[in-house]
A and B are shown apart, each in its own frame.
Chain A
Amino acid sequence: MTVATLPIERPAGRLRQLVASGIGPVLAVVLAIIVGGVVVLVSGSNPITAYQQMLVGAVGSPFDISETFISSIPLILAAYAVSFAFRCGLFNIGAEGQLYMGAIASTWLATTFPNWPGIVLIILCIVAAMIAGGAWAGIAGWLKAKTGAHEVITTMMLSYVAIDISHWLLEAGPMTPSNAYGTPESGPIPPQAAFPIILPSWILPNARLNASLFLTILAGVVFAWILWRTPLGYEIRAVGFNPKAAAYGGINVARRLVVAMVIAGAFAGLAGMVPVWVQMRLYDSFSPGYGYEAIAVALVGRNSAIGIFLAGLLYGAMIHGSVAMQANANISGFLVQILQALVLFFVGAELLIRWLLRRGGLRALVEAPA
C-alpha cells in the first residue's frame, strides 16, 4: 500500500478498563444505600444504625464472614449460569430448575453409594450435578435450536418441573430415607464425601465454610476462560451479539445455542449441589430462590466473572447481614429486599448514573473504554 498508515495504537491497560466498567455498578450500590437510607429514615428508624448492624452482621466476626460466603456461593454459581447463556443471547431465567436437578443428581449419587471413598464420591457428585444441570438446560437450548421455542418460556417451565420432581422424590418418595419422621428430606450425605472445611478451628470452631469456595473461584476462571480464550467462547459470543454474522462466519448457530445452554446449566447444577453439601442433606425446597436472585447478581456483575463474584458477595452479605440488622436494630428484613431492588434499579438506570457522573465532572472516567 502506498497510503500513509498510522502506527498501531496501544489500548488502555486492562486494569483501567476494569475500573471503568466497574464504576457504574459501584455507584449504583452507593446510590442504593443512600436511597435505602432515606426509606429507613422515613419509616422512623436510624439508617446509620441499620447499616452499621447490617455491616457488622455480615462481616463482623469470622462466623459472619463464613456465613456470608455460604450465602454468596450458590448465588455466584447460578449467576454464572445466567450470564453464560446471556453471552450467547439467551435469557436463562430457569437456573432455579437446573440447580434443583444438580442437587438431586448429586444427592442421589452420594446417598446411593454411601460407602465409596470420599474423594471419588465427591468428584463424581460434582460431575453428576454438572451433567444434570447441563442436561436440563440443554433441553431448553435444543428446543430453541430445533423449533425456535423461546428459552424464557421453556427454562421457566422446566424449572417448575424440576422443583416438582424434587417434591415428589423427597416427600415420601424414592429419595426419602425409610427412617425419616415425615420430614421431606433425603438421607444424609456420607461424611467422607463432604467438602473440606477451609476455616481452621482456631479461627472459628465448627465453621461451615468449605472448599466449595475454591470450586466457585475455579468456576469463575473457567467461565472467563471459555468465553475469552477459546474459539468456542468466541463463537458463543458472536452468536449472542449477531447470529446472522455468526452464521456468515461459518458458525453452526443452532449447535452453539445448545452448547451454551448446557455449559450454563452445568454452572447451575454446581450451584445446586453446594448448599446441599453445607447442610449435608437435601431438604425439600432447599433453595430460597438462588436461581432467580442470580439474575440480579448477573446483571449487577455485568456478566463478567469478577463482577459476578463481587456482586454475589455483596448480595450474600446483604442477606446474611440482614439477620443481625433485624435482631439488633429492629428493622424489617424487607429493607434488604428494598436495597437489592434499588441496586438493580440503579444498575439498570446506568444512563442516569452516567449523566450524574458527567454533572459531577467525572467525564474522563465515564468515557474511558468500557
Chain B
Amino acid sequence: MTAVAPGPRGRLDGAATPHLEMRGITKAFGSLLANDHVNLEVQDREIHAVVGENGAGKTTLMNILYGLIHPDEGEILIDGQPVRIRGPRDAIAAGIGMVHQHFQLVPVMSVAENVVLGQEPGGIVLDRAAAVRQVRDLSERFGLIVDPTARVETLPVGIQQRVELLKILYRGSRLLVFDEPTAVLTPQETDELFEILRGLVAGGKTVILITHKLNEVMAISERVTVLRQGRNAGVLETARTSPPEIARAMVGREVLLRVERDEAHLGEERLRLEGVTADSDRGLPALAGIDLAVRAGEIVGIAGVSGNGQLELAEVIAGLRPITAGHIYLQGKEVGAQPAAERRANGLAYIPEDRHARGLVLPFEIKDNLILGSQSRPPFAVRGQRNSAAIDQRAEDLIHQFDIRPPNPEAPVSSLSGGNQQKVVVARELAEDPKVMVAAEPTRGLDVGATEFIHQELIRKRDEGLAILLISSELDEIFSLSDTIAVIYQGRIVEVMPSATADRERVGLLMAGGTVESAVPTAAQIAEAAATLGSPGVTGDGPHGEGGA
C-alpha cells in the first residue's frame, strides 16, 4: 500500500510506545490462513479502526486479542511488555475489554447487577446499594447516562450497548474493542455513541473499532488498519485518506462506492398497497394501514429502524403473511388473497431479509437453490419429473453470470460465503424475469465488493424496467439506490419523498418518530423507536411454523 504511516502520536511524541502491539499474528484453520503475519499497532488514547471485507481476518484477530483463539505464531505487547493471553480472563487482566456485536447481558437483571456480574461488591451477599453506587459513579464519570436500577430487558438497544460498555469499564479496561457497534443503532444513536467514544478517549481510554462502514471510519477514527485476505493491506491516517482509498485497500481494486445511477424512466404502476394491515408473529398489529405504490423502472426505498413493520411489509407482499385489511395490487390485479406460488408466477420476486431462515435451503446444492420457487414449473419439471438438463443449465448460466464461487453447481449452499449465498438468492430471484421485486436488506452482512455487485444488479434491472421495493436499515443504501424514499415508523408510512430532495437528517428524525411539525423528536420518541429495535420480528415458531399456512 501507498500510505503506510506510523501513528500520528508516534510521530509527534517521538518514540512513544504503542499501547497495543500485535506482531506477526498467524492463525490457520485447516488450509485457510485466517491471519497471515498480521501486525496491529494502536497508540495510547487513539481511536483506531480495523476494516476489511468479510473473511479478511478482523474477527480472528480480535478473538486472538481477547484470548478466544490461540495464534499459531506472533506476540502481543501491551505498553511494550509482552503478554500471554490464554483466555478472556487474561485479556481482562491485561486491561482489554470487548463490546460484542451481540450483547452478553442477562435481560432480567438490573443494569447494576449486569455491570458488576462476576466481580460483585460485598461478601457472600451482593451489596446492591454499593453496586448501584459504583455503577452510577462510573456512568457519570464517562457521561454514559443509564439508570442503574432499570431492568436491562426494558431498555432500548442503544442503552443496552452502554451497559455493555459500563461492564468493561467497571473491570478497569483501558483498551476497548467495539465489534460493529453501530449495526443496531439509529443514526442519532450512532452520533451519541461517537460522542461517548470521544469522551472515553479524553478520559484516557484507547478504542479499537471494527467496522465495515467507511463513513464511520472517516468520522471517528484517527488511523485505520486495513486487512485483506488475512494480511495487512495498509495502515492509513484518516485525515490523509479518503473512502475510495480505504475501499481500494480492502478489496484490492477500484470500487464504486457511489452507485452510478441514471435518471429513472418511470413506467406504469406495478405494485400498489392500499390500507394494508397485518399482525406480527406474536399477533400484535405490525402494519397499521400501509399505502404505497411502486412503478416500473423505479426503486422505492423503505427507510426505517428495523422492527417497525418492514419484515411484515415484505411478507404480506410476498404472500407469506395474511393481511387483516386492505388491498394489494400486483400489475393491477388484486393479489391480497393469493398464495405465494401464484404471486411468483405473476411476476413477483422477493429477496428475503434473512437468507438463512427464508431465502435458502442451506443443505441443498447450489443448483437446487437456484430453482426454488420454480421447481414445479417447466422447464425444471416436465410431466411430473425433474428435468436435470434444464436445472443444470440454469445453474451453469447463473453461476457464470453472477460469478458464484465456488463454481460447483453441486456444492451445498451452506458451504458458501455469505456474499456468494446472497448472490445465489439474487441470481435466482432475477432469473425468472420478474416485474416486481421486494428486496429486503439485500446486502446485509456483505462486504464492499459483494455489495457493489448487488447494487449494480439492482440498478441494471431497474433500468430495464423492474419495479423494486427496497427495504433496508442502512440509510446509505436507501439514499444511494432509491428514486423515492418512504419512511416507515410503527407500521405506517409517515412520509414519501423523492430521493433527490430528501434530507438525511429529516429522514433520520422521521425514522425515530419525529413529526414534520416538531422537527426534533422527544426523548421518549427516540427511546420508543430504539426499543422496537430490541424485537425485530423474529419468528419464535417451531421448525414447522408454516404448517398451518
Decide if A and B are genuine partners.
yes
Which residues of A are in contact with B by a Cβ distance under 8 Å?
1, 3-9, 11, 89, 144-148, 228-235, 237-238, 241-254, 257, 369
What are 30 of the A-B contact pairs (CB < 8 Å)?
A1-B400, A1-B403, A7-B407, A8-B409, A11-B410, A11-B411, A89-B544, A147-B548, A229-B386, A230-B386, A231-B380, A231-B384, A232-B384, A234-B375, A238-B372, A241-B361, A241-B363, A241-B364, A242-B361, A244-B358, A247-B546, A248-B340, A248-B352, A249-B375, A250-B342, A250-B373, A251-B375, A252-B549, A253-B544, A254-B548
Are A5 and B403 in contact, CB atoms less than 8 angstroms apart? yes
A-B residue pairs, 8 tightest by C-beta = A250-B341, A9-B408, A249-B372, A11-B410, A231-B381, A247-B546, A231-B376, A249-B373
Contacts of A257 in B (CB 8 A): 544, 547
CA distance A244 to B375 in the complex (A): 16
Are A248 and B548 in contact, CB atoms less than 8 angstroms apart? no
CA distance A297 to B543 in the complex (A): 25
CA distance A8 to B368 in the complex (A): 16
Are A234 and B386 in contact, CB atoms less than 8 angstroms apart? yes
Given A5-B403, A234-B375, A145 and B548 touching (CB < 8 A)?
A: yes
> Is B320 an interface position by the 8 A CB rule?
yes
Are A144 and B384 in contact, CB atoms less than 8 angstroms apart? no
> Is B2 an interface position by the 8 A CB rule?
no
CA distance A80 to B548 in the complex (A): 26
The proximity string for B residues 333-354 relative to A, scoring 1 for CB distances below 8 Å and 0 otherwise, is 0000001111011000010100
A48 to chain B, nearest CB (A): 41
- Nearest CB in chain A to that of B382: its residue: A231
Are B549 and A247 in contact, CB atoms less than 8 angstroms apart? yes
> Is B406 an interface position by the 8 A CB rule?
yes
Are B548 and A146 in contact, CB atoms less than 8 angstroms apart? yes
Which residues of B are in contact with A by a Cβ distance under 8 Å?
318, 320, 339-342, 344-345, 350, 352, 357-364, 368, 372-373, 375-376, 380-381, 384-386, 396, 399-403, 405-411, 453, 539, 542-549
Given A230-B385, A235-B376, A250-B373, A241 and B362 touching (CB < 8 A)?
A: yes
CA distance A145 to B546 in the complex (A): 9
- Nearest CB in chain A to that of B381: its residue: A231
Are A245 and B544 in contact, CB atoms less than 8 angstroms apart? no
CA distance A9 to B373 in the complex (A): 25
- Nearest CB in chain B to that of A234: its residue: B375
Are B549 and A245 in contact, CB atoms less than 8 angstroms apart? no
Other A-B contacts than A11-B409, A229-B385, 14 sampled, CB-CB below 8 A, are: A5-B403, A6-B407, A8-B399, A89-B543, A148-B544, A228-B386, A230-B385, A231-B384, A241-B361, A248-B373, A249-B375, A252-B549, A253-B544, A253-B547
Contacts of B358 in A (CB 8 A): 244-245, 248
Contacts of B361 in A (CB 8 A): 237-238, 241-242, 245-246
- Nearest CB in chain B to that of A253: its residue: B546
Are A243 and B546 in contact, CB atoms less than 8 angstroms apart? yes
B394 to chain A, nearest CB (A): 12
Contacts of A145 in B (CB 8 A): 547-548
Contacts of B411 in A (CB 8 A): 9, 11, 369
Given A144-B547, A241-B364, A250 and B407 touching (CB < 8 A)?
A: no
- Nearest CB in chain B to that of A250: its residue: B341
- Nearest CB in chain B to that of A245: its residue: B361
CA distance A145 to B549 in the complex (A): 9
Contacts of A245 in B (CB 8 A): 357-361, 372
CA distance A240 to B394 in the complex (A): 24
CA distance A241 to B381 in the complex (A): 21
Given A230-B384, A234-B386, A245-B359, A250 and B344 touching (CB < 8 A)?
A: yes
Other-chain residue from B341, B345, B396, B453 in contact with A251 (beta carbon distance below 8 A): B341
CA distance A337 to B401 in the complex (A): 55
Contacts of A144 in B (CB 8 A): 544, 547
Are B543 and A253 in contact, CB atoms less than 8 angstroms apart? no
CA distance A241 to B369 in the complex (A): 12
A80 to chain B, nearest CB (A): 20
B262 to chain A, nearest CB (A): 18
Contacts of A6 in B (CB 8 A): 403, 405-407
A288 to chain B, nearest CB (A): 33
Contacts of B549 in A (CB 8 A): 247, 252-254
- Nearest CB in chain A to that of B397: its residue: A8
Contacts of A8 in B (CB 8 A): 396, 399-400, 407-409
Contacts of B405 in A (CB 8 A): 6
Are A244 and B357 in contact, CB atoms less than 8 angstroms apart? yes
Contacts of A242 in B (CB 8 A): 357, 360-362
- Nearest CB in chain B to that of A233: its residue: B386
Contacts of A230 in B (CB 8 A): 381, 384-386
CA distance A217 to B359 in the complex (A): 36
CA distance A231 to B373 in the complex (A): 11
A52 to chain B, nearest CB (A): 42
B255 to chain A, nearest CB (A): 13
Are A247 and B408 in contact, CB atoms less than 8 angstroms apart? no
